Amino acid sequence: MKPRIAVICAPNPGNAGMYSVDLAAVDFLSRNGFRFDLFTSHTPPRRGRQRLLPYRVEIGHKSKSGFGVLKLNRFSNIRQFQKYTDVLYWGDFTPNPMYAFEDFQRLEKRHKIKATKEQSLEKWSRLYNLSGGKISSNTVAVGNNFQHDYTDPNHLYKKYLRNLESNFDLILPRDTFSVENLKAHFSVEGKSKILPGLDPAFLLKDKSLSHENSKSQTFCYRFARSKLPEIHGFINDIERLTGCKGVHLDSWDKLDKSTADSVFYNYIINIQRSRFVVTDLYHLAINAIRLNVPAFGIGNCVESQVGSLGDFKKKVLFKMLGLERYYIEVEKENGYDLRKATTSIVDELRNYETNVSTIYNLKDRLVREFDERLLSSLTRI
């Protein structure tokens, strides 16, 4: 049997950051000569489903869906993996028990699936936690976030962490904090299954222009996560002090399925041609960094990861890449902190762009190691 790989994608490609994560799977597996299929647990409803529901007729959801260039199969049963040598749970928070308790039922409701919290949890545990037991395919969790606190006194997460340890062959968390956090809850034997990884978006290799920041009179920005105040004035100040025009990536987190690819790659070209990027979005920062463009991250002061949209993941990202000085924490509704952020960006910019190749040496090494580690983990028959 030739290697054949199933890739389980997070169900939100409408976010350009997650679209880049999914594109990275296509790119990585294609350039390494693997056959593969993409899966997602949530697809659009079949035509006419809503009209038939009042008559208690359930025709369900599409078995396949498209988003940009992505061709996604609906993931609804572990038996779908019988013909695959390898199964990759690709990026995001999906194998994290906190995802089950916080995000999964919201996804069910968004896709008009009636389910109690218990039913949603049971479905997640079957699909993402392999609660039915280990499968025959080589099973790898690739670039996921495990930064949450699992020390709940009611032991809500204990059995799910046990399933994760027992039923996955390898776990490559996307950051150093997740590695150590997860190891704290695994047995000695289980710890050996956890190796350092990165966010899968770093594996995407674009067929486009090299970075041209030395000639650029623009910078790219998008703010949509941290609820920071006075962003318009903040951008105006940066424009005035740097002499660069801000390019707003306004649809970064709301791609349309029919235009996703063209919009995404237009944004990538804008990023490559910009002098720098400033954002409160995790994956926009990653896409700038992977393209060797100076990136400044902005977020609220936090000490832990809360939910899947919190700012802690950005703080950890910049720290693990040796970029702490380019991540700026601010207090909500405090204009002084944004002024301080403006000053920090202006003060750091020249050294950042002049030495960007050296500054990103650690990132380049980690990407190479992640690429090699993931490739070596896949079945070769």
Q: Look up the CATH number of domain 4-203+365-377.
A: 3.40.50
Pair 10, 282: CB distance under 8 Å: no
Q: What is the pTM of this model?
A: 0.93
Topology (CATH level 3) of domain 213-363: Rossmann fold (3.40.50)
What residue spans in the chain does CATH classification 3.40.50.2000 cover? 213-363
The reported pLDDT for the residue numbered 306 is: 79
The pLDDT, as a whole number, for residue 150 is 94
Task: Check whether 370 has a pLDDT greater than 70.
Answer: yes
What are the pLDDT digits (tens) for 281-291? 999 999 999 99
pLDDT of residue 109: 81
Would the pLDDT of 53 be above 70?
Answer: no
What the block records as the tokens of 278 is: 């400033």
Q: Are 311 and 353 in contact (CB under 8 A)?
A: no
Confidence class of residue 262 from pLDDT cuts 50, 70 and 90? very high
Q: For residue 308, what pLDDT band results from cuts at 50, 70 and 90?
A: confident
* pLDDT classification of 43: cutoffs 50, 70, 90: confident
How many Cα atoms sit within 13 Å of 362 on the Cβ side?
Answer: 9
Distance CA 179, CA 183 (A): 6
Please report the pLDDT score of residue 152 as a whole number: 87
pLDDT value of position 61: 64
Q: Is the pLDDT of residue 303 over 90?
A: no
**CA 296/CA 275 separation, integer angstroms:** 11
